[in-house]
Amino acid sequence: MTIRLRPHHLLCLLTYAGKGYSAPFVANYDRIAARMSQGDDILIVEGPDDICAPLLGEADPHCRRTSVRERDDKAAHDVGKLLHCSIEAGLQLSIDEAWLHQMRGAFADGRTRQACAGCEWSDLCSTISAEGYSQVRIRPPA
């Protein structure tokens, strides 16, 4: 099955290590991480996606804020430049070892970190990356 992702979550998936906003958020993310690690495709969407879903019942979910859309724009720019493609709604991607290697390397050396400015998780993501992504839950499909 296809997983719907907004652009900046292409970065967040690299450092997901089982931490998040709430228990339902983490449980949902774990299911998505397992599906990605089994080879499910990604479909790029605009706005809230499958990772955001557990937060959308809140009164003012941050997933709908302009600042988060701007984060998407920055991630789309950086990842598009890296992968030589246009990261926009409707694009389908598959995660494999080469893709993860390229994305992890660019994240680690800062080429795709514009979108992370001001994010509350930035220090954690930097640490996970600096430690070689050993704690992460999204792995290349076997």
44 within 8 A of 91, measured Cβ to Cβ: yes
In angstroms, the Cα distances linking 129 to 39, 90, 107, 122, 137 are 22, 28, 8, 10, 13
Q: Is 116 in the site for ligand SF4 (CB under 6 A)?
A: yes
| Backbone angles phi and psi of 65, in degrees to 5 | -75, 155
State the binding string over 15-54 for ligand SF4 (x if CB under 6 A, else -).
x---------------------------------------
8 within 8 A of 49, measured Cβ to Cβ: no
Tell me the angle at which helices 97-108 and 66-83 cross, rounded to the nearest 10 degrees.
Answer: 110
Q: Which is nearer to ligand SF4, 55 or 142 (CB)?
A: 55
Q: Which is nearer to ligand SF4, 98 or 121 (CB)?
A: 121
Supply the minimum distance, in Å, between the C-beta of residue 117 and ligand SF4: 9
What's the length of the chain?
142
Stretch that binds ligand SF4, among 11-19, 56-64, 79-87, 96-104 (CB under 6 A): 11-19
Considering only 3, 5, 12, 138, the residue that binds ligand SF4 (CB under 6 A) is 12
Task: In whole angstroms, give the CA distance from residue 73 to residue 51.
Answer: 17
Stretch that binds ligand SF4, among 48-56, 59-67, 77-85, 120-128 (CB under 6 A): 120-128
Supply the minimum distance, in Å, between the C-beta of residue 38 and ligand SF4: 22
